[in-house]
Structure 1
Amino acid sequence: MRAPRHPSLGEPLAAREPVVVLGEFDGFHLGHRHLVQAAARVARLGERPLTAVVFDVGRDRVLHELSDRTHALLRHGVSQIRVLQLSLESATAAEVADTITTACRPALIVMACAPDGTAGDYPDVRTEFRARGVDVVEVDRVVDHAGPITAERVRTAVGTGDIDAVVELTGEPYPITGIVQRGQQLGRTIGYPTANLDPPAGRVIPAKGVYAARVRHDGTVYDAAVNVGVRPTVDASDVLVIEAHLLDVDIELYDERITVSLTHRVRDEHRFESLDALTDQLARDVATVRRLNA
């Protein structure tokens, strides 16, 4: 297939120097969407492809796996992605600019600026790009009642279990993907079978508690009540586990990959005096999940 051409341009679009948008894009919050949408508009006006440079800085705790970030970027109009294992805290602005200009040959750089008009996370990089003949377009950050929307605010909201805030900041539920593990199968004996996930290493895990969620498996989505915690009523091991009880279905998912997307927080995790008390509470939790996910 031939690359598309524009009457005013003498070369295929895919061969033209791209517009390049910069960021870590962890959590892909509303600020990231705004930045990428602005970059996409600039690219369309110039009839150029849009490349995203993703800084993979090796954080101890991330909101999204790198693959989730790249998929989000592709869904929002990015045509090519370059991942750089480059720490903005340790690399100099000149090193960042040299690396990106060599890897991408950008026609233009699009990056976020802070609300006061500075270059935000990249204070000297814009100067270095311009010194290399590459202009920089700075996009205002998205600000709400609490200030600029940032990945750190999303991390804090997830860590405290404030899923409503996560949805407000990102526009989406909080996803956790993993392989279903074999558990003690105690839930099945009390009428609430669960699909259990080990907490993904290196991810920000929500605070212990019960959540409303939707579980995706093989293209099908199910409502679910999810417990993130150590199951203090039935287990003294203090091992954190993510348990998803799918509503109105009983399917075996062992060794299958599922995505659990948390939509709302229901309550804190508690230790109950008996299995009967736990079962009664689970019935109330399921009713709450139905109402919240309706």
Structure 2
Amino acid sequence: MIIIENSSDFHIEGPCAVAIGKFDGIHKGHRKLLEDLLCQKRRGMKTVVFTFDPSPASFFAGREIASLSTKEEKRCWFEEYGIDVLIEFPLNEDTAATEPELFVRKYLKDNIGAAFIVAGRDISFGQGGKGDYRLLEKLCPELSIETDFIDKVEENGIEISSSLIREAITEGRMEEAAQYLGAYYTISGRVTHGRALGRTIGIPTINVIPPAGKLLPPNGVYYSRVRIGERVLRGMTNIGVKPTVTDEKSIVSETYLYDFSGDLYDKEAYISIMSFRRPEMRFKDIAELKERMSLDIESGRIFHHNRDRLEGIG
């Protein structure tokens, strides 16, 4: 996959099929849009994802807004999906002030060679966000560009959106978030050295520092699955500041892995947060902490057994 970043002066040899959006979270609605995009490969078109960096939410707020998907996560996801070109369009004072019609003519038609555009009906672009699907419907036939606009995907009668998923994650409703995403919400990062306290009390854990800018659920203990390489392991993950053993405020995810022993330091771990167990707590001493962790682990064995059977996992 070719990545075009930090430049509004680019050129792609068309014809191209282009999907435009923020793509925060890559939920079921995004998947439908991208499936439509990939269908155009059979017509000989290059597939292009056009997104923005920084996100419109962060740019217009003047500060970083935590995202469901980091830039690195989106890049990996699009590459795995088979996208040919990813454009991370630089959003700044100049580009944000582009008149919507000029945006279509210059960037989509001239620079990309768009012959097909797919987007959600809630798309907005150009100065003041005045560009919308109606403008594209009106302008694109003149430019020999086909269009397809995707209606909101619904789950149990509820329209799926990134804001809906953000709300669920912020409140720790991880199973609801997974319904909208079509997959469990995942935190990725390299396994780092911690204080090794878990190892000394017979409950070893792996430590991962969540990526900067990643939206996190409330501090607490969660049932989880962890993918490292080709292996998928069951776990219990604590997200928080570990108040019983440190006064530091930096957030870390610590995961106990069932039925595993070995060295995972510096490996890339993908921690899927499945369901909330309890909030993070301060215990009076290490002995009380160990007792509660043992109860959590036993609860996790039951949870994973039931969930594996429900999902048909042997």
Q: Tell me which amino acid in the other structure corresponds to 1:70.
A: R
- Kindly indicate whether residue 30 of structure 2 is the aligned counterpart of residue 23 of structure 1: no
Question: Could you tell me whether the CA contact under 8 Å between 2:16 and 2:112 is conserved in 1?
Answer: yes
Pair 1:279–1:91, CA change in 2 (3 A): farther
Q: Give the 5 Å matches for 1:156-175.
A: 156-175=167-186
Gaps of 5+ in 2: 1-11, 59-63, 126-130, 306-314
Q: What secondary structure is seen at the aligned counterpart in 2 of 1:187? A: helix
Matched residue, 1:80 = 85
* Per-residue deviation, 1:164: 0.7
- Kindly indicate whether residue 39 of structure 2 is the aligned counterpart of residue 62 of structure 1: no
Matched residue, 1:202 = 213
Q: What secondary structure is seen at the aligned counterpart in 2 of 1:107? A: strand
Matched residue, 1:93 = 100
* Per-residue deviation, 1:15: 7.0
Pair 1:218–1:77, CA change in 2 (3 A): closer
Question: Could you tell me whether the CA contact under 8 Å between 2:120 and 2:152 is conserved in 1?
Answer: yes
Question: Could you tell me whether the CA contact under 8 Å between 1:213 and 1:262 is conserved in 2?
Answer: yes
Matched residue, 1:8 = none
* Per-residue deviation, 1:254: 2.8
Measure the CA separation in 1 of the matches of 2:119 and 2:171: 30
Pair 1:266–1:95, CA change in 2 (3 A): farther
Q: After superposition, give the CA deviation of every residue in 1:100-151 in whole Å (9 maximum; x if it has no partner).
A: 223310111111114xxxx567526514444534232212121234642111
Measure the CA separation in 2 of the matches of 1:90 and 1:192: 55
Question: Could you tell me whether the CA contact under 8 Å between 2:14 and 2:112 is conserved in 1?
Answer: no
Q: Tell me which amino acid in the other structure corresponds to 2:73.
A: D
Higher mean displacement: 275-284 or 67-76: 67-76
* Per-residue deviation, 1:229: 0.9
* Per-residue deviation, 1:245: 1.4
Q: After superposition, give the CA deviation of every residue in 1:78-107 in whole Å (9 maximum; x if it has no partner).
A: 333333223696543134312122331011
Q: Give the 5 Å matches for 1:129-208.
A: 129-145=140-156, 147-208=158-219
Q: Give the 5 Å matches for 1:13-52.
A: 17-44=15-42, 46-52=43-49
Higher mean displacement: 208-217 or 87-96: 87-96
- Greater helix share, structure number: 2
Pair 1:51–1:193, CA change in 2 (3 A): same
Question: Could you tell me whether the CA contact under 8 Å between 1:216 and 1:259 is conserved in 2?
Answer: yes
- Kindly indicate whether residue 76 of structure 2 is the aligned counterpart of residue 71 of structure 1: yes
TM-score (norm 1): 0.83
User: Which residue, out of 230, 239, 244, partners 2:241?
Assistant: 230
Pair 1:238–1:21, CA change in 2 (3 A): closer
- Kindly indicate whether residue 124 of structure 2 is the aligned counterpart of residue 113 of structure 1: no
Matched residue, 2:4 = none
Q: Percent identity?
A: 26
Q: After superposition, give the CA deviation of every residue in 1:7-39 in whole Å (9 maximum; x if it has no partner).
A: xxxxxxx97612211112121000000111123
Question: Could you tell me whether the CA contact under 8 Å between 2:154 and 2:160 is conserved in 1?
Answer: yes
Pair 1:40–1:251, CA change in 2 (3 A): same
Matched residue, 2:3 = none
